[in-house]
A = this chain, B = another copy of it.
């Protein structure tokens, strides 16, 4: 039995095993899921052992454990470091899920559930690709180091401590990550650029306590209105961010790259359909693909304050809150952007209220050339898995870790993602196309096998 036949014959077994993984609600943002997080780490460690890893450890951290495994018996062969995460986004709002977030369900060729695309489904692709190689070849044909963390959705704080204290041990010829999306259905893709991120939380405090809007309204500051007025001032009519200096360090995209981006088989019609808004909007002077991949943003992610229950409550609340984020592109420095954003907000802030501003997480943007021979192997492997030529793309999301690794180890980072942009990562009804899950196992197995021939 060859590699492809082995993988084909294990489709049901692989899928059933993935269900087990998805059923663990490993939500890293919420302390109530602490024990689920630990259960997920145990589960990953066990699967690494059965995929042929020699040394598997669950590494405790300040927050959530990290799972590390390695197999270093392929003397003279390349070494890859695979990175993924077993934690997931909160499932809320629960009522918008067609089937429950932690009860994986197949509908129309898609597997639905929190973590299917981001990132448990993709981590499982690697676990099963390694296991298949181990079963077919008796031993892994290359050297593999695997690092699966539990804090990706909350800023990956412990991960970096682990990397810095294990710099020698983690050395590899390439970093491999599957936490991105394909350009579209049937278009296998290798990602060479990611946006960075600062995530902020703001509190606006006015009156010392909630006040009756009849008795007090008209003479006191309303923190809700002031919060609205602040955020209304952060974009101009061309949808550019108004924070002074925000665009200072944005690297221009070369004419050649712009041309290549516009040649991609990216389907605007499908994008519009996925978004489903009456009309799109974005920074003037850039195509949608450029807006998504090459331009920075400032987006509100949540606002709250005052009464949100049934019926009417005539209150002027004491406080108003917002969560928001800036997506960053090369060469914006997250720390500098955070400083500029805070300076601007403090300048805009009226004297009638006080503001607390906190940066909850931060990550650098990343763009890199794709000239190393590993990329050719990846390109061929994707064709073996999907029967189609792969394309090179950027992505609008952030994997701060990739930049850090790229800067630290100076090795190629191969990002082969098997999600699709309309699979609702971070939203209700998250899913992965089964054809991409199964194609991914084949592609990754061939990639690891192909690296042995270099």
Residues of A within 8 A of B (CB): 28-31, 89-90, 92-93, 96, 153-155, 181, 195, 197, 199, 206-222, 224-225, 227-233, 235, 271, 275-283, 288, 291-292, 295-297, 299-317, 320-321, 323, 325, 327, 350-354, 360-361, 395-398, 421, 424-429
Other A-B pairs, 8, CB within 8 Å; known A90-B311, A217-B327, A219-B291: A215-B396, A218-B297, A220-B280, A220-B281, A231-B232, A280-B352, A302-B307, A302-B308
Copies of this chain in the oligomer? 2
Closest Cβ of chain B to A262, distance in Å, is 15
Contact across chains for B232 and A426 when beta carbons are under 8 A apart: no
Which B residue's beta carbon lies closest to that of A89?
A: B313
Contact across chains for B208 and A327 when beta carbons are under 8 A apart: no
Contact across chains for A316 and B301 when beta carbons are under 8 A apart: yes
Of B93, B207, B303, B360, the residue contacting A312 (CB under 8 A) is B360
The dominant DSSP class at the A interface is loop
| A299-B209 in contact given A309-B30, A352-B279 (Cβ < 8 Å) | no
Closest Cβ of chain B to A361, distance in Å, is 6
Within 8 Å CB of A428, what residues of B?
Answer: 209-210
Most chain B CB within 10 A, of A210, A277, A295, A313, is at A277
| A351-B279 in contact given A224-B303, A303-B304, A313-B90 (Cβ < 8 Å) | yes
Contact across chains for B210 and A426 when beta carbons are under 8 A apart: yes
In the assembled complex, 24 residue pairs joining A and B whose CB atoms fall closer than 8 Å, in A order, are A90-B307, A153-B313, A199-B312, A208-B277, A212-B425, A212-B426, A213-B325, A216-B421, A218-B292, A218-B327, A219-B271, A219-B281, A220-B280, A220-B282, A222-B299, A224-B302, A278-B351, A278-B353, A279-B350, A281-B350, A301-B314, A302-B313, A303-B304, A314-B398
Report the bound CA distance from A227 to B230 in whole Å: 12
Contact across chains for A313 and B29 when beta carbons are under 8 A apart: yes
Within 8 Å CB of A96, what residues of B?
Answer: 209-210
Contact across chains for B222 and A232 when beta carbons are under 8 A apart: no
Report the bound CA distance from A218 to B195 in whole Å: 11
Report the bound CA distance from A64 to B225 in whole Å: 33
Report the bound CA distance from A218 to B197 in whole Å: 13
